[in-house]
């Protein structure tokens, strides 16, 4: 397999491997996004993987992208409809080769706008989880009235136990430090109420562990749904089922709000006059809430940086996903997780061991 584009050597290390064929917009959106990213990160080195002829033709339109990209051919691409089990068998796909580049140390991270199920499956098999992490989680940034919040899990794990939630808190704290630049991000466990006795046993167990852990000073306790957008904490931890429902509900509410505003401001002469008066403020709000600014969900807990761009995003959105990946690489995101896990290891291991012994005793009786 030959490399084309900028010069290449077998020992060259890339900042990111990019799946050039993923997403609804395909290579056109990916390459245009890399052109934007090149202006922001001129020192980055990108291994762009996919259909060589298409990628080279597109790169010719963006000299700034050519300067940071090396093209590697791939024999196939994973479709958005392909099942994860089928994707695992396609060893020459652009997504698989991107994962391979991270696994073998050639690249520090991977970004794809492709099939999320296939991406998670390949990441777990090829890149594998960090020692001490039982399950990777999907994390993303969302806007709040105070700034931004990191939320996880957003769909990778539908059912979780207390240990998973504690691990998510560790990973979310490291993510907020790396991407949001917060020195000591606060953490909340999403629950049906803020009182200590609310929620099921797994939530109460996770809260108890966090209160006795090195993260105790940053642990706020239980938070409710309205606390997410209020910015009560910097990190919100929950299981994948609840997190995905909360995320989609928030997206739907935002779309409804903008739809209602358009109806109000187009309802008549007074509405149009009102729009002209508030237009500057609305434009600022629209810019702040632009989903492209928050594009780039991250599979945390893996032996490498893995960022999932929204499949339907545009070039600006894809560039934002690249921004997230580069921030995580630059700030050595996984080192933060490893350090925190080492500090918490004996605490969680002891509780997990006691829990297993109790379960075995009950079974024996």
Indicate whether 99 and 161 sit together in one domain.
no
pLDDT at 350: 53
Q: How many domains does the chain have?
A: 2
- Domain-located, residue 216: yes
Three-class SS of the chain: CCCEECCCCCCCCECEEEECCCCCCHHHHHHHHHHHHHHHCCCCCEEEEECHHHHHHHHCCCHHHHCCEEEEECCECCCCCCCHHHHCCCCCEHHHHHHHHHHCCCECEEEECCCHHHHHHHHHHHHCECCCCCCCEEEEEEECCCCEEEEECCCCCCCCCHHHHHHHHHHHHHHHHHHHCCCCCCEEEECCCCCCCCCCHHHHHHHHHHHCCCCHHHEEEEECHHHHHHCCCCEEECCHHHHHHHHHHHHHHHHHHHHHHHHHHCCCHHHHHHHHHHHHHHHHHHHHHCHHHHCCEEEECECCEEEECCCCCCHHHHHHHHHHHHHHHHCCHHHHHHHHHHHHHHHHHHHHHHHHHHHHHHHHC
- Domain-located, residue 3: no
**Domain hosting residue 350, numbered range:** 12-133+301-331+338-358
Q: pLDDT 10s per residue in the chain (365 long)? A: 345 444 334 445 789 999 999 998 899 999 999 999 999 999 999 999 999 999 999 999 999 999 999 999 999 999 999 999 999 999 999 999 999 999 999 999 999 999 989 999 999 999 999 988 888 999 988 889 898 999 999 988 888 999 999 999 999 999 999 888 899 999 999 999 888 888 889 999 999 999 999 999 999 999 999 999 999 999 999 999 999 999 888 888 888 888 888 888 888 888 888 878 887 877 777 666 666 676 778 999 999 999 999 888 899 999 999 999 998 898 888 888 888 888 776 555 555 555 554 444 444 54
Indicate whether 45 and 154 sit together in one domain.
no
CATH number, residue 288: 3.40.718.10
Indicate whether 274 and 353 sit together in one domain.
no
Indicate whether 224 and 284 sit together in one domain.
yes
- Domain-located, residue 2: no
């Amino acid at each position: 397999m030959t490399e084309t584009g900028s010069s290449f050597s077998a020992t060259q290390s890339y900042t990111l491997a990019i799946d050039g064929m993923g997403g609804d917009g395909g290579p056109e959106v990916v390459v245009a996004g890399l052109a934007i990213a090149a202006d922001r990160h001129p020192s980055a080195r990108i291994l762009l993987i996919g259909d060589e002829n298409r990628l080279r033709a597109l790169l010719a339109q963006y000299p700034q992208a050519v300067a940071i990209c090396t093209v590697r051919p791939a024999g196939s691409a994973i479709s958005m409809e392909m099942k994860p089990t089928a994707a695992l068998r396609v060893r020459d796909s652009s997504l698989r080769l991107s994962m391979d580049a991270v696994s073998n140390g050639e690249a520090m991270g991977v970004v794809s706008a492709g099939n999320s199920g296939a991406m998670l499956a390949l990441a777990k098999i090829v890149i594998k989880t960090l020692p001490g992490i039982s399950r990777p989680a999907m994390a993303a940034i969302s806007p709040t009235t105070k700034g931004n919040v990191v939320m996880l899990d957003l769909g990778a794990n539908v059912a979780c136990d207390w240990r998973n939630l504690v691990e998510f808190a560790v990973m979310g704290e490291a993510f907020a430090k790396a991407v949001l630049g917060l020195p000591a991000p606060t953490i909340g466990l999403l629950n049906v109420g803020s009182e200590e006795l609310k929620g099921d046993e797994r939530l109460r167990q996770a809260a108890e562990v966090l209160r006795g852990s090195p993260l105790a000073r940053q642990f706020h306790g239980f938070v409710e749904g309205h606390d997410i957008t209020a910015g009560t904490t910097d990190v919100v931890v929950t299981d994948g089922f609840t997190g995905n429902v909360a995320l989609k509900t928030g997206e739907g509410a935002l779309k409804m709000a903008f739809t209602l505003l358009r109806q109000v401001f187009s309802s008549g002469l007074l509405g149009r006059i009102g729009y002209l008066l508030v237009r500057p403020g609305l434009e600022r709000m629209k810019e702040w809430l632009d989903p492209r600014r928050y594009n780039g969900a991250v599979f945390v807990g893996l032996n490498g940086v893995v960022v999932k761009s929204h499949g339907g995003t545009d070039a600006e959105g894809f560039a934002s996903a690249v921004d997230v990946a580069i921030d995580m690489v630059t700030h050595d995101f996984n080192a933060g997780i490893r350090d925190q896990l080492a500090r918490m290891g004996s605490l969680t291991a002891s509780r997990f061991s006691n829990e297993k012994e109790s379960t075995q005793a009950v079974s024996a009786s």
